[in-house]
């Protein structure tokens, strides 16, 4: 527990919020051809829970993008490491992300998908650090606005660790300050 200063969100709190967002998506996309795009790696657990609460038919695909290295702040450099295989033309794309920080990753990915002639592209995120935003991006579905703490768990990592924690925890600064 010394690695963490607090529990930010318990698994039960997360589950309730994810079910609430899924309910809204179920209402909004009735009768539409939907492609859910899970943004790897951080969104893998959120997306797995979200899609199991969806009652509308959806196609699920994966894209990998990276903006952080082992550092705790964004480098401002978004790379597409793996693209989707689905043709999204004339379909409704929902980008599923674990956290919106500067907004650079989602802005880049939204622009990237908009070039493929979709019917729509919307964004669904688990966590939103609004005070850190440097670029404008519309987030249609958000489970939790959060303060600017370094959080891990439920898919989110520090240096690829802690993704498997059930709760979302606040990482003690000594963990990443130690690394330098």
Catalytic positions, written as ranges: 101
| 142 is a contact residue toward ligand PRP (CB under 6 A) | no
The residues in 150-169 that bind ligand PRP, with binding defined as CB under 6 A, are: 157
Q: Closest CB to ligand PRP belongs to which residue?
A: 42
| 101 is a contact residue toward ligand PRP (CB under 6 A) | yes
Rounded to the nearest 10 degrees, what angle do helices 44-52 and 11-28 cross at? Answer: 60
Among 4, 36, 37, 41, binds ligand PRP (CB under 6 A): 41
| 120 is a contact residue toward ligand PRP (CB under 6 A) | no
Asked if the peptide bond before residue 60 counts as cis, ω within 30 degrees of 0, the response is no
Q: How far apart are the first and last CA of the chain?
A: 21
| 68 is a contact residue toward ligand PRP (CB under 6 A) | yes
| 46 is a contact residue toward ligand PRP (CB under 6 A) | no
Tokens 């693209």 correspond to 83
| 139 is a contact residue toward ligand PRP (CB under 6 A) | no
- Of the two residues 49 and 98, which places its CB atom closer to ligand PRP in the complex? 98
Residue 88: closest CA among 29, 22, 36, 48: 36
Residue 9: closest CA among 153, 109, 171, 162: 153
Among 18, 21, 95, 98, binds ligand PRP (CB under 6 A): 98
d(CA 45, CA 163): 9
Q: Site residues (CB under 6 A) for ligand PRP? A: 39-42, 65-68, 74, 97-105, 157
């Amino acid at each position: 527990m010394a690695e963490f200063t607090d529990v930010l969100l318990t698994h039960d709190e997360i589950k309730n919020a994810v079910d609430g967002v899924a309910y809204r998506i179920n209402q909004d996309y009735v009768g539409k051809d939907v492609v859910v795009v899970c943004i790897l790696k951080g969104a893998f657990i959120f997306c797995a829970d979200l899609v199991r609460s969806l009652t509308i038919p959806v196609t699920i695909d994966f894209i990998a993008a990276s903006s952080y290295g082992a550092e705790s702040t964004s480098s401002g450099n978004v790379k597409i490491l793996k693209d989707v295989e689905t043709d999204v033309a004339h379909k409704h794309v929902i980008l599923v992300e674990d956290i919106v920080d500067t907004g650079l990753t989602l802005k880049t990915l939204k622009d990237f998908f908009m070039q493929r002639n979709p019917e729509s592209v919307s964004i669904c995120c688990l966590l939103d650090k609004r005070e850190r935003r440097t670029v404008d991006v519309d987030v249609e579905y958000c489970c939790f606005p959060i303060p600017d703490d370094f959080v891990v768990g439920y898919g989110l990592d520090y240096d690829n660790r802690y993704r498997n924690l059930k709760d979302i925890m606040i990482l003690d600064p000594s963990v990443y300050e130690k690394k330098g």
